[in-house]
Amino acid sequence: MPLKLLLKNIRFNIEHKFLYWREVLKKNHDFKNGKIIPMEEYGPHRPIIECKKRAVCIYDNKISSNGLADRLRGIVSTYEICKRKGMDFKLIFNSPFELSQFLLPNVVNWQISDDELNYNTSVTDICYINTHKGNNAEGVRQRKFFEEEFNKPYKEFHVRTNAHFSYNGNYSEYFHELFKLSPRLQISINRIKAKLGNSYISTSFRFMNLLGDFNETAGVGVIQSNEEKETMISKCIQQIKQLHKRHPQQTILVNSDSKTFLQRATELQYVYTIKGNITHVDAKDVDNNYETHEKTFLDFFMIANAEKIYLLQTGKMWNSGYPYAASRIYNKQFKRIRF
């Protein structure tokens, strides 16, 4: 592994371990940690903009916000509390792209610009919640944190989070209240549906750069042995073949963060893969144009539309939350296969 990549991996793991134990050691499980958010734009002498009590989810790349599914669940979780408390909900998602290129407001108008925000610390509170384990106990603490935080006498709450507790509520309903597909994305999805049909299953394989062909520094690093790479790929291909035996009449949509694996999977005549650029939303130095990120959304919503959704995992492959998040959009059946 190149030294630069190795050092990034080490730094990533140290930072996340630090934040995890910081939360664990706090007796009240207070997830708030404003110090890791750049504070130069905030202050007690900034002008105050009159507004209804509101929460604003912010994804502007000033801190790591994880992947698309992580951001969406954080958005829906925050909205859930706002709805319960009768607060306005707003969203700024401008990095590495403007979310409105792909998803538009549906029932709720969440759009707001930077110059409409309050940066005066006498009226604005900064909230940060980073999910570490993703279990129900953590979700209960997250919900409690939001409930207590939003009871404080502030007018505005700036929230950066990937909180997952909305999965235990009306995730699908709230997601559709917030979002509808942009016309451009809808056209691309319709084009894929015309080829795939309405009866297909989805499989996801998350390698996290184990095969050395993905722009993500987190994880355990690249497998150095070509023989080990081939063994892992062959095991995954075998799983696709087994699923085909269980679903012989259905096309298998294969999603992966590895172009190497996708090329191999397409050798199977009953496999369909979505063309396009493979990237991670939280990766550094990535273009912000529509074409760079369209496949991320196409994969997500085509997974969501599948009849059955599978995550397949072996060895050091990542237990990705991406296909599970997609399954919640239309409440489809999800299953994780560890082999």
- What would the mean pLDDT of 25-29 be, rounded to a whole number? 42
Q: How confident is the model at residue 131 (pLDDT cuts 50, 70, 90)?
A: confident
End-of-domain residue from the set 181, 216, 244: 181
Q: In sequence order, what are the residues at sequence separation of 6 or more whose Cβ sits closer than 8 angstroms to the Cβ of residue 279?
A: 215, 286, 292, 293, 295, 296
The total of structural domains in the chain comes to 2
101 and 203 within one domain: no
Tell me what percent of the residues of the chain surpass a pLDDT of 90: 71
- CATH code for the domain in which residue 98 is found: 3.40.50
177 and 198 within one domain: no
| Residue 219 domain boundaries | 183-338
Q: How confident is the model at residue 117 (pLDDT cuts 50, 70, 90)?
A: very high
- What pLDDT, on the 0 to 100 scale, is given for residue 271? 98
Most confident of 6-10, 28-32, 61-65, 289-293: 289-293
Evaluate whether 84 touches 15 at the Cβ level (below 8 Å): no
193 and 147 within one domain: no
156 and 219 within one domain: no
Residue 5 included in any domain: no
302 and 312 within one domain: yes
- What pLDDT, on the 0 to 100 scale, is given for residue 215? 66
- What pLDDT, on the 0 to 100 scale, is given for residue 10? 62
Structure tokens at 246: 């269980």
Average pLDDT score over the chain: 88
139 and 267 within one domain: no
- What pLDDT, on the 0 to 100 scale, is given for residue 288? 83
- What would the mean pLDDT of 299-310 be, rounded to a whole number? 98
Could you read off the pLDDT of 181-213 as tens digits, one per residue?
999 999 999 999 999 988 999 999 999 889 988
- What pLDDT, on the 0 to 100 scale, is given for residue 128? 87
Residue 146 included in any domain: yes
- What would the mean pLDDT of 150-159 be, rounded to a whole number? 96
Q: How far apart are CA 223 and CA 227, in angstroms?
A: 9
Evaluate whether 55 touches 152 at the Cβ level (below 8 Å): no
Could you read off the pLDDT of 228-268 as tens digits, one per residue?
999 999 999 999 999 999 999 999 999 999 999 999 999 99
HSE-CB for 222 with a 13 A CA cutoff: 16
Q: In sequence order, what are the residues at sequence separation of 6 or more whose Cβ sits closer than 8 angstroms to the Cβ of residue 235?
A: 314, 339
303 and 248 within one domain: yes
Residue 22 included in any domain: no
Evaluate whether 83 touches 174 at the Cβ level (below 8 Å): yes
Evaluate whether 97 touches 290 at the Cβ level (below 8 Å): yes
- What pLDDT, on the 0 to 100 scale, is given for residue 21? 47
Residue 12 included in any domain: no
Q: How confident is the model at residue 269 (pLDDT cuts 50, 70, 90)?
A: very high
111 and 202 within one domain: no
